[in-house]
Structure 1
Amino acid sequence: MRILLVEDELEMAAWLQRALAQSGFVPEHAKDAITAESMLHAASYDAVVMDLRLPDKHGLVLLREMRGRGDITPVLLLTAQGSLQDRVRGLNLGADDFLSKPFALEELEARLAALVRRSKGRPSPHLQCGSLNYDTESKAFILDGAVLHLTPREHAALAALIARARAPVEKHQLFLKVFEEDSEASPEAIEVVLHRLRKKLQGSDIQITTVRGLGYMLESISVEN
């Protein structure tokens, strides 16, 4: 199993590389986020072990960027003892597991093996468009690391749009997803739902675009400071 180890503490990294190699893993080391990004673009890995406290970029930012471009490689985060906030944010951003320092090598190896087993032959439960993440198992939308609170109809509309992110969804098809149990609703009622969704997405890099003649499309845009 090919593992990318993202760790800036060189002694810790060297120890982990030796230990993982002796256990049959194939570890490769990145000492900072920019090196990790380059390696992730150049090769595929079975899993990533990532320390959060990197010198050039926080690990959660690197994780968010990975998921934003559709990289579903399993990620195990190394966190400081008791850092509950980092663990919760990490899981919301698409991390697969976490381990608090100090840790036993045997536990790290067992968690890595389990991550890789779960990832083989199973699609990712996360759908991603820019900074918007949808967990299809928990049915939660996370925008910029925070839970996005939606009404049932808003949720149904956004779920249908993110399932086909960057591609248009026909208006009648979207209407049926949102109002399937309300036969008396007007087809134009979908506009009200989308108007409310657009207001909740304001200020983020996510927008719902009307594609003339084709329907509506969820896409990520660059946000200027």
Structure 2
Amino acid sequence: MKFLLIEDNRELAHAIASRMRIDGHVIEHAENLEDATAFVETGEYDLILLDIMLPDGDGRVFLKKHRAGNLDTPVIILTARSQVSDRIGSLDLGADDYVTKPFDHAELEARCRAVLRRKAGKSQTIFETGGIVFDPVAGVLSVRGENVNLRNRELRLFEVLINAPRQVFSKQKLADRLFSYDEDASENAIEVYIGRLRKHLIPSDLKITTLRGMGYRLDYEG
């Protein structure tokens, strides 16, 4: 998945981003509200991790503004403020969760998973359909009972497709979800990942369809 991390503490931001990238997530990092606004206006994210005290303003102002603009991306507040009134105020402004610094990274990861499950309207994240069992959290895909070893970007690509079956994704759209702005994301790379996934899915009832000039779509055979 693709996360936006808004945090001015570079050491903490690096630690969070490194942990998330190990799990294959794409992380964009903004150190201030101006950059964060630019990211939100030009990109699409599955989750936003938002600090409150930033060099150019209060993160809650950012949250309020973008919730008023119908931004429905889940937001987890990261802050050293632990007062109950601060938590209530942030949740009332539209935050989906509130994590107090310092925090354990494993807890933050668990809260991210929980928020994303709620967003998807699911109590669990495991997909079972068409002869496959897919657990995006554990990074495991089983096809007809056989586990398949997916590389990180193959895993996230399949997660994008399985979350929106029969929806068409252009190469650019997929590149935006799989790569950060400072990474080289060529159309050839997307084609390579699609090709690998197709081979993995051959025994299943799922297939990735190419729509010429439009992109790719996950379909169910039979």
Coarse TM-score class (shorter-chain normalised): 0.5 to 0.7
Q: In the alignment, is the contact (CA less than 8 A) between 1:81 and 1:102 conserved in 2? A: no
Aligned: 1:97 with 2:97: yes
Residues 82-137 of structure 1, C-alpha deviation per residue, up to 9 Å, x if partnerless? 23222111100110001000101011011111111211268xxxxxxxxxxxxxxx
1:73 is matched with 73
- Residue 110 of structure 1: aligned partner: 110
Q: CA deviation at 1:80?
A: 1.3
TM-superposed CA distance for 1:81, in Å, is 4.6
Correspondence for 1:3: 3
RMSD of equivalent CA atoms: 1.3
Deviation at 1:16, TM superposition (A): 1.0
Match of 1:57 in 2: 57
Amino acid in structure 2 at the alignment position of 1:75:
V
Q: Contact 1:79/1:86 (CA < 8 Å) preserved in 2? A: no
1:28 paired residue number: 28
TM-score (norm: length of structure 2): 0.53
> Percent identity, aligned pairs only?
40
Larger radius of gyration: 1
Preserved CA contact (<8 Å) 1:79 1:87: no
**Cα distance in 2, alignment partners of residues 84 and 53 from structure 1:** 17
Q: Is the 8 A contact 1:33 1:59 kept in 2?
A: yes
Structure 2: which 5+ runs fail to align? 123-222
Tell me by how many angstroms 1:46 deviates. Answer: 0.3
Structure of higher RCO (CA pairs closer than 8 Å, 6+ residues apart): 2
The amino acid that maps onto 1:96 is D
Deviations 1:32-78 (A, max 9, x none): 01100100010110000001011101011000001010001000001
In 2: Cα distance, 1:40 partner to 1:24 partner: 21
Query: How far apart, in 1, do the equivalents of 2:33 and 2:12 lie?
Result: 16
TM-score (norm 1): 0.52
Write out the 4+ residue segments of structure 1 that deviate beyond 3 Å after TM superposition.
Answer: none
SS in 2 for 1:61: helix
Gaps of 5+ in 1: 123-225
1:1-225 equivalent positions in 2, closer than 5 A: 1-120=1-120
SS of structure 2 residue aligned to 1:5: strand
Q: Offset of 1:26 from its aligned partner?
A: 1.4
- SS at the partner of 2:54? coil
User: Distance between the aligned counterparts of 2:79 and 2:87, measured in 1?
Assistant: 7
